[in-house]
Chains A and B, each alone.
Chain A
Amino acid sequence: MAMIEGATGPWEMVIGLETHAQIVSKAKLFSGAAADFGAEPNNQVSPIDAGFPGMLPVINRFCVEQAIKTGLGLAASINLVSIFDRKNYFYADLPQGYQISQYLRPIVGAGAILLDLPDGSTSEVRITRLHLEQDAGKSLHDQHPQWSYIDLNRSGIALMEIVSEPDMRSAEEAGAYVKKLRSILRYLGTCDGNMEEGSLRCDCNVSVRRPGGELGTRCEIKNVNSIRHVMLAIEYEARRQIGILEEGGTIRQETRLFDAAKGITRSMRSKEHAHDYRYFPDPDLPPLVLEQEWVERIGASLPELPDAKKARFVKDYKLSAYDAQVLVAERESADYFEAVAKGRDPKLAANWVTGDLFGALNREGVDITQSPVSDKALGELLDLIADGTLSGRLAKDVFAAMVETGKSANALVEERGFRQVTDTGAIENAIASVMAAAADKVAEYRAGKEKLFGFFVGQVMKATLGKANPALLNELLRKKLKGD
Chain B
Amino acid sequence: MSTLNELTLAAARDGLRRKDFTARELVEAHLTAMAASKSLNAFISETPERALAMAAQSDARLARGEARLLEGLPLAVKDLFCTEGVRTTAASRILGNFIPPYESTVTANLWEAGAILLGKTNLDEFAMGSSTTTSAFGNTENPWRRRGDNRPLVPGGSSGGSAAAVAARAALGALGTDTGGSIRQPASFCGIVGLKPSYGRCSRWGIVAFASSLDQAGPMTRTVRDAAILLRAMAGHDPKDSTSVPVAVPDFEGALGREVRGLKIGVPREYRVPGMDPEIEALWQRGIDWLKAAGATPVEISLPLTHYALPAYYIIAPAEASSNLARYDGVRFGLRVQGDSLDALYENTRGQGFGAEVRRRIMIGTYVLSAGYYDAYYRKAQQVRTLIIEDFAKAFAAVDAILTPTAPSAAFPIGEKMEDPIAMYLNDVFTVPVNLAGLPALSLPAGLSADGLPLGLQVIGRAFDEETVFSVGAALERAAAFEPRGPRG
> CB within 8 Å of B: which residues of A?
47, 50-59, 86, 88, 90-92, 95-98, 148, 150, 276, 278-280, 283-286
Contacts and interface: CB of A to CB of B under 8 A. Distances in A.
A284 B326 contact: no
A54 B320 contact: no
A53 B332 contact: no
Contact of B243 (A47, A50, A286): A286
Contacts of B207: 54
Interface stretch (B24-32, B97-105, B168-176, B390-398): B97-105
Nearest to A57: B242
A-B pairs, top 3 by smallest CB distance, nearest first, are A97-B326, A283-B212, A278-B369
Interface of B: 81-82, 88, 90, 95, 98, 100-102, 104, 204-209, 211-213, 239-243, 319-320, 322-323, 325-327, 329, 331-333, 342-343, 346, 366, 369-371, 374, 378
A10 B90 CA distance: 63
Contacts of B82: 53-54
B174 to A, nearest CB: 18
A91 B101 CA distance: 24
Contacts, number: 98
A283 B214 CA distance: 9
Contacts of A280: 319, 323, 369, 374, 378
A280 B325 CA distance: 15
A141 B206 CA distance: 33
Nearest to A50: B332
Contacts of A91: 342
A92 B241 CA distance: 26
Contacts of A285: 242
B213 A47 contact: no
Contacts of A56: 204-205, 240-243
11 contacts: A52-B333, A53-B208, A54-B100, A54-B209, A55-B206, A56-B241, A58-B239, A88-B322, A88-B369, A92-B342, A278-B323
Contact of B326 (A52, A57, A59, A98): A98
B183 to A, nearest CB: 18
A88 B323 contact: yes
A52 B204 contact: no
Contacts of A86: 323
B17 to A, nearest CB: 33
Contacts of A50: 332
Contact of A53 (B211, B212, B327, B369): B327
Nearest to B211: A283
Contacts of A148: 342
Contacts of B88: 53
Interface residues of chain A: helix, strand, loop or mixed (majority): loop
A276 B370 contact: yes
Contact of B366 (A47, A55, A278): A278
A259 to B, nearest CB: 22
B95 A286 contact: no
Contacts of B212: 283-284
A95 B332 contact: yes
A96 B326 contact: yes
Nearest to A54: B206
Nearest to A274: B371
Nearest to B316: A283
Given A47-B102, A286-B242, 10 more contacts: A50-B332, A53-B98, A53-B327, A54-B205, A55-B205, A56-B241, A56-B243, A91-B342, A96-B326, A283-B213
B374 A92 contact: no
B102 A150 contact: no
B116 to A, nearest CB: 22
A51 B332 contact: yes
A55 B374 CA distance: 26
A58 B240 contact: yes
B241 A53 contact: no
Contacts of A95: 327, 331-332
Nearest to A53: B208
A54 B208 contact: yes
A53 B90 contact: yes
Contacts of B104: 54
A59 B213 contact: no
Which interface residue of A283, A285, A286 has the most chain B CB atoms within 10 A?
A283
Contacts of B102: 47, 52
B187 to A, nearest CB: 23
A276 B420 CA distance: 29
Nearest to A86: B323
Contact of B343 (A47, A90, A150): A90
B363 to A, nearest CB: 12
Nearest to A46: B102
Contact of B242 (A51, A53, A150, A284): A284
B449 to A, nearest CB: 37
B323 A98 contact: yes
A54 B333 CA distance: 13
B329 A90 contact: yes
A278 B370 CA distance: 5
A90 B205 contact: no
A286 B244 CA distance: 10
Contact of A150 (B205, B211, B331, B333): B331
A97 B243 contact: no
Contacts of B332: 50-52, 95
Contacts of A51: 327, 332
A92 B323 contact: no
B203 to A, nearest CB: 9
A53 B332 CA distance: 11
